[in-house]
Amino acid sequence: MPEGEFMMRALEEIRDQKNLVNDINWDMTPEEAVTLYLEWGNNWSHGKHLVRSKNDVSHYFVVNTWDDPPHIYLIRRNSDEARELAKIEIPLALRDRFLEDVGHNKGVYAMNEEIRAWLEEALGLSSDHATH
């Protein structure tokens, strides 16, 4: 299946799962996820919410530039694992600007405002919808 079809199917499948869409933490970054879920014993020192068990879960997006071309992933993380729920192709213009912003470096990044706005629109949300 061509990448574009995979992207559309992934976005449609996410959009159709209202509970999942409502659970997305739009402000979670990869760094914060590590602090919360992998270093959860010392979160009190960071002033963050505490992860008490593997039942504490976050859903969030990251941009993976190790992929060529880069992709957006929807991640489900708890203290046991991080699972990729969806892989989404980034539109070419957004991808090029994002790569420019990160100096074309390889890594896993938080989404920028432009990608967030595009995802919110693609999922049928307004840009002021952040629920977490």
Measure the CA–CA gap between 75 and 84, rounded to whole angstroms.
Answer: 5
Measure the CA–CA gap between 27 and 119, rounded to whole angstroms.
Answer: 13
- Spatial contact of 7 and 88, defined as CB atoms under 8 Å apart: yes
| Statement: residue 116 has pLDDT above 70 | yes
pTM: 0.79
Question: Which range scores top for mean pLDDT: 8-17, 46-55, 99-108?
Answer: 99-108
Which amino acid is present at 109? Y
Give the C-alpha distances (Å, rounded to integers) separating 81 from 43, 94, 99, 124. Answer: 18, 29, 27, 28
User: pLDDT digit string (tens) for 53-98?
Assistant: 566 788 999 999 998 999 999 999 887 888 899 999 999 999 999 9
Quote the mean pLDDT of the chain.
82
pLDDT value of position 45: 52
